[in-house]
Amino acid sequence: MSYIEETLKLIASDEMREHLHKWKHKLHREDYIDIVQQAPICLEQKIQILDLIAKQTKDDAANPIDTEHHNPSLIAKYARRALDELHNNSSGDVFLLERYCYDEENIHARELFTTFEAIKNHIQKVAGGQETSKDGGLWFRLEKWLPHKDGNMKHFMYWYLSNKGEVLYYGYPLHSMYDSDYYMELCTSFASNATSGDMVLTTPFKTGDIIIADCSPFVKPTKVLIFDIFHIGDDTEPAYSDFVRFIGITPKGKIDDNSLEHTRFYNGSCFSLLYRATVYDGELDETEAPLGVINKAIKENPKLVDEIKAYMRSLSDPASEKARLAKESSDYDGVEWEDLKNKFGL
């Protein structure tokens, strides 16, 4: 059983997985570690693959970054510690569970618990009664709070849980890291937080492709248009990579652009390009129809990409008069489709 094959199995996107298989530049060990850490799978499975990487590879003693932040044995050790902290509780320790669901606006239910067993039982009951749990729209953030000597409670660490109660990611608040005797260990384990990870690779996708960006359970799967791919380096060099921008439909029905990430599976409005992104060539509904119109227009006139990009940037620029006017009533969240259509004759 190869750690390379086991790691690439975590990439559900057929296009991305095949691309990495065929890519002439081999991934480094730290790339595989990053892929494992940020994958939307349970922590126990990540530990198994990290142990496999440790068994089949060697540390680069000449590279301090590698030994501190990409040592699979240490990362697996910290992950086990994160799981242990769910059960190693002292008198007065409290868990705060927050429930989220992308199909229910503003849901922010909170519950207090003293044991992880009680939390899992609660999640099972909640998920069993949620239609959205069937498609992964339900997730939880769990925090552990400890009694403090001044009579207050102190936030010690947190986890992101699936609708099955599985631990997907974990992390420590900064004050815990600074107060800890094992600061570097926590810095390393902090890389397992869902919002970290900045690995950048080449992609098999092209400008104009409409893809399904799926970062469930955190964000509802949505269709976006790959709008701009900025190549870093020369394709003959291992450092060659892509930064990808996309155009999507905002919750208010406007058109806006943003970044597609790689190993950063979930970070607010950003979406991961690595794990589940796949090309969509089916029908678009009425809300998504502008993506099809833009797709056709930029294929007929590739120069439109730069023109539309410059126009949207001018509107989102804080120095823009239009942006200032928009911010008087609400935060800027994109361009009205009618405005964009009329501006460029779409």
pLDDT of residue 201: 73
Which amino acid belongs to residue 221?
Answer: P
pLDDT of residue 176: 55
Q: Encode pLDDT of 298-333 as tens digits.
A: 989 988 988 888 888 777 665 555 554 544 445 667
- CA distance linking residue 156 with residue 115, whole number of Å: 15
Q: Which residues of the chain have pLDDT under 50?
A: 131-133, 178, 181-196, 238-239, 324, 326-329
- CA distance linking residue 142 with residue 155, whole number of Å: 11
- CA distance linking residue 316 with residue 318, whole number of Å: 6
**Taking CA 175 as the corner, what is the angle to CA 115 and CA 30, rounded to the nearest 5 degrees?**
85
Cβ neighbours of residue 229 under 8 Å, at least 6 residues apart? 203, 205, 206, 207, 242, 243, 244, 245
pLDDT of residue 119: 96
SS3 (DSSP) at 335: strand
Task: For residue 283, count other CB atoms closer than 10 A to its CB.
Answer: 8
pLDDT of residue 219: 82
Give Cα separations from 45 to 68, 136, 149, 199, 307 (angstroms): 22, 19, 37, 21, 46
pLDDT of residue 50: 94
